[in-house]
Every structure is written in structure tokens, then in C-alpha cells.
């Protein structure tokens, strides 16, 4: 499909909305053209907002007067034409952003929850089911968001290494087979960055609220390396007000007694053991070299060693997965009874190996999978407490974090709702600086690849001086 852009700057939003309907088709965004080539969508702003869809010998046109929000007007016109053509409605309507709960909460604080729900329903065309989900998530987050102040922050540490690369993965992580030699150079520099970041936090009088070590798979590090990392964080940061310290144990085939004991000796309060699925055939299809039984063994070992706050990640829509096998996965999680479960919807990214057309063809039933997960987790006493979306998600759905009361992850709320600054260390990490008074948000990007991180480390540290000047400028 050719998406033509005429006299407006809403190309990103129109592209994402188009892709939500044309999931497996190539969408070409064209700004300069002489003729229109079918099939095409023409979006234009002149004395009116106009959208034309022309394909298969059929041409539909809708237009509306200029308004205070031409982007929303155009999105509604495009949605109406595509919805009619494909006889389909999207559960999140015209919303294409990552953070619908942040928008809902902002609208509710300004005009009340009823008005926010009405705007989602009537203006953004969100389904009743997703409005109810947004209301529940927003309510569960309120207490945590209230804790964020202009001097609170969270720490994120990236370990960008994995045992193997999954076929759906778009993260810049290196398989251990190819990058094991880099860890010896990477870890000392990471400890240096952590020290530098801690010095900045002390100088600026910042208060640490949560710590999250992710990746990649942090437990690709040895027990000794994990001990070094955790010792450094505890030595450098004041953890007295820290309410969460999460380490993603992640892949079950990296979990050992020695590594779990290393975590247990330190301030870690929460770990993740992430199966993604409990089907061995699906695990093989997505490139994971472990079995469902290894997940169960890793979980039970963590319980045996005293871990009482364990999260498990699942993905709906994986290659070769079916509603029946996904139901068995949910039932297996219920039997293990972790404190929290994150249910992701497969998002097909350009840099991932999974094919968009194959994914859509195989998983027209992703919505059914999420429905079963919601039903069973609710029945098991879990509540949805954070939510985010990504482009090219199957069935235009969402990722939802579920947890039992008392086990919500503050970090997940802080990072998704952008309630305070996140100081991030490691390859691929992104520091987010937030001014609570103006809601101004600024990002500092670390180099993505471990080899870049190693070779350009001094340049990376120099970038972080912006943390100091940001707080001098916005948060005096």
C-alpha cells in the first residue's frame, strides 16, 4: 500500500494506523510524487482534511473541516474508511501510542474519570473492554505515581547478552556464543558507569526509588560477576528508600543455584523467570534452547532458596502456538502461582526473524489467547497494574502486567507512565530525565551494541553530564 502525505506532518501516526489494518502488507510512505499509484491512501490538508483510499477499482473519499486538532480528524477519517473496507474495528480505536494509560490518567485528572472514559469511547473510538481495562490499570497505579517527586529516580542496568536470540526479538542483545569474550571488557566499564551515575545522583540530592537489572538476560553473567555487579550498586547508592530491586533471571537455562544464591546475598527483592510458553515445540520454533520442565525446575529452585516475589513473562501469538497450547501455558503458570505475570502480545519488528505475514496468518486468534489469560489471572487473584503497546502487535492489542495485591512492580509503573527520571547504565540503555513541574522529558541514549559501548565509553560518560545540567535547569 502506498501512503501519500500531502501538506501535513502526521505521517508517523497515519502510517501506524494504516499498519494496524494492513498488518502483513508493505506500507510505503511517500512525501514527494507526481502521480498516485494504486493501491494507495492519500492523506491531505488544504482548506479541508481529506483522506482517500483507492484499491481494487474502488475509491472512497472522506473529508472534514479544519479543526484545532487536524491530526485527530485525519485519524478518524482514515479509521472510518479502513474499518469499512476491511469490516473490522480496532480494540484501541485510533490510538497508536505506547502509553494509553498515561493519556487516560491525564484526562481523568483534568476532567474526571467519566469524561476520560467518554473521550476514549466517543472521540478515540476505543472499545468498552479496553476502556474498562484502562480504568482498572489507572486506579491500581495511582498510589505509586503519587510517590514520584522531582527528586525521586529509578536505576536501570542493562546486561545485553542472551544464550540465544529468539526469532521475535528486536532488542540489541548479543548471543553468548558470539559475544562471551566481550563480557570481560564490558562489565568493568559498566561498573564505572554505575559509579559515575551514583556520584551524579548524590551530587544532585536524588532519592532512589527502584532498581531494575534487565537485558538481554542478566543471568548470562556468572555468579561471581553478578556478585560484583550487585556489590557495586549497594556500595554506590543509598537503598534506604528503595522499594524494589528486580533482577531478570529470564531464561531458565541460565538459572543455577549459585547464581540465585548470589542474588539472595544482596538486596534483590524480585526476580523474573520467563518461560514465554510452556510448549516445548513452540520453544524450539522460536529459538529457545530450554524446555518447559527447566522453567518449572528453575522456579521451584528459586522458591526453595526463599524468593517470595517472582514474575513470569508470557507471549501470546508465538510461532506455532495455538489457543489450546496457550491455554495450557496459562494453566501451568496458575499451578506455579508466581506473584506476578506479564502477558505480552507478539509484536513483529523489522529486525526480528519472525515474518509478519506468517505471524498474522497463524495468529488471528491472539485476542482469544489474551481473553483466556485475563479470565484465568483474574480468577487467580491477579490484577492488571501496568500496560503498554507497541507498533505491529498482533490484532492491535497490548502488553499487560498482572500481579497479586502487594506485588505490583513500582519500576514497571514508573518507566511506562514516565512519572520520574530513570538513570540508565549499560549498552542500549536510555536515561530518561523528567521535570515534574513542566512534564518536560529528555533522553540520553547509550550506545546500542556492547562493542560500541566498550570502544566509545569516554564519549558515553561525557553525554551523561547532561544529567547535571538538566537538574540545574529544570529542578532547582
CA dihedral 207, 310, 415, 404 (to 10 degrees): -100
Arithmetic mean of pLDDT, 52-76:
96
User: How far apart (Å, rounded) are the C-alpha atoms in residues 476 and 474?
Assistant: 6
Are 98 and 389 a contacting pair, CB within 8 Å?
Answer: yes
Residue holding cell 485527530?
72
pLDDT digits (tens, 9 = 90+) for 152-195: 999 999 999 987 666 666 554 555 556 678 999 999 999 999 99
The confidence band for 351, taking pLDDT boundaries of 50, 70 and 90, is very low
What's the pLDDT at 302? 98
Torsional class of 312: left (φ above 0), alpha (ψ -120 to 50), beta (otherwise): beta
- C-alpha distances in angstroms, 211 versus 5, 157, 215, 250, 284? 43, 8, 13, 16, 32
Tens digits of per-residue pLDDT, 365-397?
A: 899 999 999 999 999 999 999 999 998 888 889
- Of residues 416 and 289, the one with the higher pLDDT is 416
97-116 per-position pLDDT tens digit: 999 999 999 999 999 999 99
* Cβ proximity of 444 and 200 under 8 Å: no
Dihedral angle sign, alpha carbons of residues 126, 127, 132, 137? negative
Percent of the chain with pLDDT over 90: 85
Closest C-alpha to 345, from 362, 366, 373: 366
Count, residues in the chain: 476
CB-based contact 242:209 (threshold 8 Å): yes
Grid coordinates in use for 4? 501519500
pLDDT digits (tens, 9 = 90+) for 245-265: 999 998 899 999 999 999 999
Separation between Cα atoms, residue 38 and residue 58, nearest integer Å: 10
**How far apart, in whole angstroms, are the C-alpha atoms of residue 65 and residue 408?**
45
| Among candidate residues 423, 417, 426, 333, the one with its CA nearest the CA of residue 381 | 333
- C-alpha 255/C-alpha 428 separation (Å) is 23
The residues with which 157 forms a beta bridge, in sequence order, are 213, 425
Amino acid at each position: 500500500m502506498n501512503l501519500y502525505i500531502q501538506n501535513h506532518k502526521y505521517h508517523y501516526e497515519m502510517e501506524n494506523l494504516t499498519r494496524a489494518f494492513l498488518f502483513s502488507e508493505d506500507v510505503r510512505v511517500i512525501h514527494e510524487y507526481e502521480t498516485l499509484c494504486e493501491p494507495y491512501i492519500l492523506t491531505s490538508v488544504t482548506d479541508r482534511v481529506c483522506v482517500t483510499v483507492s484499491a481494487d477499482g474502488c475509491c472512497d473519499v472522506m473529508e472534514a473541516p479544519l479543526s484545532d486538532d487536524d491530526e485527530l480528524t485525519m485519524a478518524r477519517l482514515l479509521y472510518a474508511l479502513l474499518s469499512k473496507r476491511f469490516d473490522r474495528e480496532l480494540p484501541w480505536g485510533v490510538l497508536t501510542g505506547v502509553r494509553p494509560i498515561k493519556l487516560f490518567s491525564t484526562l481523568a485528572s483534568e476532567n474526571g474519570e467519566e469524561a476520560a472514559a467518554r473521550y476514549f469511547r466517543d472521540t478515540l473510538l476505543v472499545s468498552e473492554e479496553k476502556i474498562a481495562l484502562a480504568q482498572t490499570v489507572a486506579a491500581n497505579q495511582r498510589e505509586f505515581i503519587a510517590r514520584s517527586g522531582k527528586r525521586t529516580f529509578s536505576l536501570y542496568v542493562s546486561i545485553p547478552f542472551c544464550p540465544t536470540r529468539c526469532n521475535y526479538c528486536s532488542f540489541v542483545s548479543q548471543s553468548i556464543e558470539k559475544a562471551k569474550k566481550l563480557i570481560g571488557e564490558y562489565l568493568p566499564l559498566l561498573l564505572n558507569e554505575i559509579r559515575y551515575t551514583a556520584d551524579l545522583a548524590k551530587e544532585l540530592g536524588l532519592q532512589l526509588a527502584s532498581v531494575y537489572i534487565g537485558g538481554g538476560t542478566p543471568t548470562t553473567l556468572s555468579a561471581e560477576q553478578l556478585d560484583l555487579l550487585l556489590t557495586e550498586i549497594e556500595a554506590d547508592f543509598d537503598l534506604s528508600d528503595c522499594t524494589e530491586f528486580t533482577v531478570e533471571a529470564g531464561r531458565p537455562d541460565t538459572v543455577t543455584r549459585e547464581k540465585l544464591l548470589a542474588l539472595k546475598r544482596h538486596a534483590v527483592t524480585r526476580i523474573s523467570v520467563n518461560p514465554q510458553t510452556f510448549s516445548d515445540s513452540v520453544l524450539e520454533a522460536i529459538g529457545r534452547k530450554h524446555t518447559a520442565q527447566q522453567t518449572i525446575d528453575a522456579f521451584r529452585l528459586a522458591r526453595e532458596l526463599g524468593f517470595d516475589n517472582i514474575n513470569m513473562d508470557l507471549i501470546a501469538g508465538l510461532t506455532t502456538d495455538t489457543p489450546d497450547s496457550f491455554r495450557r501455558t496459562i494453566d501451568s503458570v496458575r499451578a506455579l502461582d508466581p506473584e506476578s505475570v506479564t502477558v505480552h502480545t507478539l509484536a513483529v519488528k523489522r529486525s526480528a526473524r519472525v515474518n509478519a505475514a506468517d505471524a498474522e496468518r497463524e495468529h488471528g486468534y491472539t485476542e482469544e489467547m489474551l481473553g483466556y489469560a485475563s479470565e484465568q489471572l483474574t480468577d487467580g487473584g491477579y490484577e492488571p497494574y501496568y500496560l503498554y503497546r507497541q507498533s505491529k502487535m498482533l490484532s492491535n492489542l497490548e502488553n499487560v502486567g498482572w500481579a497479586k495485591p502487594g506485588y505490583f512492580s513500582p519500576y514497571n509503573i514508573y518507566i511506562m507512565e514516565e512519572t520520574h527520571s530513570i538513570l540508565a547504565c549499560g549498552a542500549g540503555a536510555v536515561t530518561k530525565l523528567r521535570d515534574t513541574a513542566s512534564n518536560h522529558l529528555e533522553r540520553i541514549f547509550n550506545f546500542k551494541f556492547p562493542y560500541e559501548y566498550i570502544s566509545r565509553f569516554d564519549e558515553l560518560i561525557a553525554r551523561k553530564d547532561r544529567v547535571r545540567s538538566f537538574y540545574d535547569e529544570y529542578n532547582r
